[in-house]
Chain A
């Protein structure tokens, strides 16, 4: 590479890095300092957050909702990916992608009208002779499940698209050879589909895993900041209602730490899995 080309490459790398540093890194570092400044003990804000019972509930929900949501969207996404790969139907593909194409607030407002005490779902239940259910009752397990289902509903198309792309990359010859050797459907899935899908599964899991941990608007619109608190709504509540920026940033920093630690662990696990399958160098 010539010297001028190397210089140009340096410039093209440095400019976006500088911009990212200015708009992302500097505010993030400044934010990390907020809980450590002010009167009293340096970690006073962190101690106050850790002693708050709502923080405990938010932390628990922040782990449970992504788990439930990921479980639903991977089961649903994989089933849909298999369906659209084997029975190519553009109409079904479009119908499946619609929830993701809708603006988030539209989808959430719609979900809210469905699950409200006098919402569409309870109306349907009553019309069918059933009894209305408190889908979003504050603090209930059912509200946690409802939030997880709605979150999964919104993003299952993304998982489906990633997995469908992975499925389509598996050579058909492998299936043909296995069928000639007398393999059954379950063996095909277990010994061909699943191992060769590992990189796609790992990518989808990482992408959605990070995203699911940062859940915010679904909880806020459906259940309210206090109904099913998660760390982001908890931080938002401290910032906007209690006007406590120190504690809000402490909660946000703890969320950042949680996402980073679990994300890095997931990344390591994904790499190991892919390497075992021989997909990554």
Chain B
């Protein structure tokens, strides 16, 4: 057998690579050495990633990102925003809690979901400083606490006011009687958000509380007074109230089909962005009932799930968010009314006059564990009165029979006092 002939090429040349020259060897050595310098090691270190599950519209995400830039820079952290609905955030938090691990560091939840989510959240005691307390109404903090512990912090809170067509309405109704008179005189022009969802309860509560009623006591006399008033309004309400939610009712107001409805502050910024406010639409206080005036607190609370991978960093973020400067910037960046009243004399002050006037009357929905079934029972009762012609008494009797004892207000003790502050039991 003939021995293989040795190739005249060097091995590197066989695979098409040129032979290294001294200069390139030197360059490679410099590059390798530079990887070991402290500056490079610092850059190579991965930044911590904080994941926020927030209930934002797609258009709001980019603005929220802008708001977060300061915190990201100061803390050298990367923040990932996951924009979901409140319902999906709750489902996510529950799934992660069941799995025992997760990726969400901070979850935003609607006030109505706090009771259902509380079991899976960390305690946030210590974040309720005097400075933070001053930012939000007492009812907002009350709703975030349970048995002396803080589980959530108010993130971007709001409450409802009346939104009216200033050209058609003139002077907005200030009392129930005036509202009823207006509805009778202009059939179909007053509307409620009466689709089958918690928003209906948000429209109901100012009437229920305004009559001294309570969501957790179906036998309170005020409940009957409130439902009787709604039954009186029913024939004159806009018929599409049965399917109205926040946006559809606002669109109907923009088209001139509705002249008076109740909504959150975002409605005013939306109307202003379309050039319809303050020229055509303004906000006003919700009409006063026989037991006084009231409005319902809503919006997003932030909490840290037990399964959060970076709980300390998440806590630092919440502390940052609870400063007056961050709140002011948040309102300005996102176009929310926010926790701070607009400056007197500004365009915003004209837009949000109704919301500013309602600030002292803000109350929170009960944040009990099974609030959602209670809310659903009330939704069915109110819809039966408004759209099926059921008598208020029959609807309340049915409600009382189907409401579980755990959903009813406690008879005595500190819990009752807390409920009185929140849910509007007679004080």
Contact = CB atoms under 8 A, between A and B. Distances in A.
Given A118-B256, A118-B257, A240-B87, A54 B196 contact: yes
B242 A226 contact: yes
Nearest to A139: B242
Interface string B347-375: 00000000000000000000000001000
Interface of A: 54, 116-118, 134, 136-139, 223-227, 237, 239-245
Given A139-B242, A223-B243, A241 B85 contact: no
Interface in B249-296: 255-257
Interface string B189-231: 0000001111000000000000000000000000000000000
B239 A134 contact: yes
B201 to A, nearest CB: 11
* Chain B interface extent, by class: 20 to 34
| Main secondary structure on A side of the interface with B | loop
A239 B198 CA distance: 13
B195 A226 contact: yes
Contacts of B243: 138, 223-227
Interface string B53-96: 00000000000000000000000000000000101001100000
B113 interface: yes
B387 interface: yes
Given A118-B255, A137-B239, A243 B87 contact: yes
Q: Which of A237, A243, A244, A245 gathers most chain B CB within 10 Å?
A: A243
B116 A243 contact: yes
Contacts of A241: 87, 195-198
Given A138-B239, A138-B243, A245-B91, 13 more contacts: A117-B240, A118-B256, A137-B239, A138-B240, A139-B387, A225-B243, A226-B242, A227-B242, A237-B196, A237-B197, A241-B198, A242-B196, A243-B372
Nearest to A223: B243
A75 B257 CA distance: 36
Contacts of B91: 243, 245
A137 B85 CA distance: 28
B174 interface: no
B128 interface: no
B376 interface: yes
Contacts of A223: 243
B195 A242 contact: no
Nearest to B375: A242
A244 B387 CA distance: 24
16 contacts: A116-B255, A117-B257, A136-B240, A137-B240, A138-B239, A138-B243, A224-B242, A226-B195, A226-B196, A226-B242, A226-B243, A227-B242, A240-B85, A241-B87, A243-B116, A245-B91
A224 B372 contact: no
A242 B242 CA distance: 16
A240 B248 CA distance: 17
A256 B256 CA distance: 41
A275 B420 CA distance: 73
Interface string B166-204: 000000000000000000000000000001111000000
Interface of B: 85, 87, 90-91, 113, 116, 195-198, 239-240, 242-243, 248, 255-257, 372, 376, 387
Contacts of B85: 240
A138 B90 contact: no
A163 B90 CA distance: 48
Nearest to A52: B380
Identify the 9 closest CB pairs spanning chains A and B, nearest first. Answer: A224-B243, A241-B197, A138-B242, A227-B243, A118-B255, A138-B243, A240-B87, A226-B196, A226-B243
Contact of B195 (A118, A225, A244, A245): A225
Contacts of B256: 118
Nearest to B241: A138
A239 B87 contact: yes
A225 B196 contact: yes
Contacts of B248: 224
A239 to B, nearest CB: 7
A53 to B, nearest CB: 9
A144 to B, nearest CB: 14
A241 B113 CA distance: 11
Contacts of A227: 240, 242-243
A11 to B, nearest CB: 34
A191 to B, nearest CB: 50
Nearest to B376: A242
Contacts of B195: 224-226, 241
A117 B240 CA distance: 10
A117 B198 CA distance: 26
Contacts of B239: 134, 137-138
